[in-house]
Chain A
Amino acid sequence: MEQNQPPFGDQLEQLSGLLLRIGGRCEQAIGLAVTALVDRDSGVADQVIRGDAEIDSLELEIDSLCMEILARHQPMARDLRLITTVIKITPDLERIADYAVNISQRALELNEEGPLKALIDIPLMARHAQKMVRDALDAFVREDADAARAVILMDDELDRRLEQTFRLLLSHMIEDPTTISRCLRMMFAAKSIERIGDQATNVCEQIVYMCEARVIKHGRF
């Protein structure tokens, strides 16, 4: 049976739209996961965990559309770089959502026990990671390699804060060994936030490739 296929340009726009949707959902998931952790809100943690299914299905939808575009249109030049970029950054974004789920799971576990005295730098780290994801998506939309490079530079700050969090949590555990299990869970949450920054960095390295056809990963900045 004959089917009318949307034109190439429409499919590229549809793809960009889907990518922004999955990116927006990821950004939202990070915010909610940290709220669940900071406000000890198990309902919000459950919301993040349940919402992950939508992000997974968006990833599959993007994969399928990329395959269709490749098969039907054999894109070249910047279109080819756009498609390969989307294929490569979608799993990064999906992974970001998985980290938000990890943080929510740690929140659920922590909510079973008494609160820790201080949440250290975790809200700050989360805001920083969220900004990295948001700026990465903006760089994608604007095809702005400089903006993508700026996001990559932001990752160092997240690494520094993780190091600081580790030291403070270690002090807590030494001072009061009854907090060890909670501190360890908090450390896992902090590590997940730091990994979100790494994924945003991967996304931005790919955006630079999309814009300039220049590979900057593995130290080729």
Chain B
Amino acid sequence: MSDEVRPATRPEDATRAISPKITDPNLVVRSLSLWYGGSQALHDVSLVIPRNQITAFIGPSGCGKSTLLRCFNRLNDLISTVRIEGDILFEGHSIYDPAEDINALRKRIGMVFQKSNPFPKSIYENIAYGPKIQGVKKKQTLDAIVEKSLRGAALWDEVKDRLGESALSLSGGQQQRLCIARAIAVEPEVILLDEPCSALDPIATTKIEQLMTDLKEQYTLVIVTHNMQQASRISDHTAFLYMGQLIEYQETEKLFINPIMKQTEDYITGRFG
């Protein structure tokens, strides 16, 4: 089949390409630009993340998807050379408001990273750590949080008889689910996941994907993934970024079956470059 059949994307398509129907917004990104020193990593990105759904960010390495994800709980603030313009509204309030309590924000917007990073403590302590530093002291309450979080992360049945063992004794997939349990122990509203399955085997990946699908009942999930099949399997909406720009943002099915922008089509069909 000819590669030349699809016409070059027209200017009016660019507007149509970022138009998913979102009735219940949770996070709203407004004209967000970000620089690492002199290098601009995000260019005027605007999009709306819906509540209780899974939104996936896809794109080639260096396209800005992880940078955008880290903006949601202001992790980029930890990098001194970062400069940000634009805004992100969480439940209608700017997270970049100078009065915003970053610790409180990160409690409400939790994060799970590519490489599982349990604390070198027991399974129990890993989960109880967050609630403890928030002031929960009563053992009975902590026990209940640990059980609820581990159940929520579909890990309870596998670890309930060895809560005192080191978290590092768990398998890679179990460690990642432990990190998800740790994130939900502080009862966030949003969970950000930065390539959470890239170091896992297919069985552990399936478990995490199933878990994400279950978790969206209670949380808003935003996931960065290199795995397009994963994005197409689990997400409700997908955003394609390229060179720091949001190229297309659609309902996942629409984006993977009939993308509007030629760049999206070229990327998801492997014709990039």
Q: Are A and B genuine complex partners?
A: yes
Where the two chains meet, the residues of A that have a C-beta atom closer than 8 Å to any C-beta of B are: 8, 12-13, 16, 73-82, 143, 211, 213
In chain B, positions 236-259 with a C-beta closer than 8 Å to chain A are: 256-259
Closest-by-CB residue of B relative to A76 is: B268
Bound-state Cα–Cα, A77 to B228, Å: 12
Chain A positions within 8 Å of B195 at CB level = none
Q: Does B166 contact A (CB under 8 A)?
A: no
**Interchain CB contact under 8 A, B257 and A81:** yes
Q: How many residues on chain B are close to A (CB under 8 Å)? A: 16
**Interchain CB contact under 8 A, B1 and A77:** no
For the residues of A in contact with B, the DSSP-based class is: helix
Q: Does B232 contact A (CB under 8 A)?
A: yes
Q: Which of B2, B5, B229, B257 contacts A77 (CB 8 A)?
A: B257
The contact sample of 8 A-B pairs, CB cut-off 8 A, is: A75-B269, A76-B228, A76-B232, A77-B264, A77-B269, A80-B257, A81-B258, A213-B258
**Interchain CB contact under 8 A, B256 and A80:** yes
Chain B positions within 8 Å of A78 at CB level = 1, 6, 265, 269
**Interchain CB contact under 8 A, A77 and B270:** no
**Interchain CB contact under 8 A, A16 and B1:** yes
Q: Which of B256, B264, B269 has the most CB of A within 10 A?
A: B269
Bound-state Cα–Cα, A211 to B259, Å: 12
**Interchain CB contact under 8 A, A74 and B229:** yes
Bound-state Cα–Cα, A75 to B2, Å: 16
**Contact A76-B258, Cβ < 8 Å, known A12-B1, A143-B1, A143-B2:** no
Chain A positions within 8 Å of B5 at CB level = 143, 211
Chain A positions within 8 Å of B228 at CB level = 74, 76
Chain B positions within 8 Å of A80 at CB level = 256-257
Bound-state Cα–Cα, A73 to B268, Å: 11
Given A8-B270, A143-B1, 8 other A-B residues pairs in contact with their CB atoms under 8 A: A74-B228, A76-B228, A76-B269, A77-B256, A77-B258, A78-B1, A78-B6, A82-B1
Bound-state Cα–Cα, A74 to B257, Å: 12
Chain B positions within 8 Å of A13 at CB level = 1
Closest CB of chain B to A76's CB: distance in Å? 4
The 8 closest A-B pairs by CB, nearest first: A213-B258, A76-B268, A143-B5, A77-B265, A79-B269, A76-B256, A77-B269, A77-B268
Closest-by-CB residue of A relative to B258 is: A213
Q: Which of A12, A13, A80, A82 has the most CB of B within 10 A?
A: A80
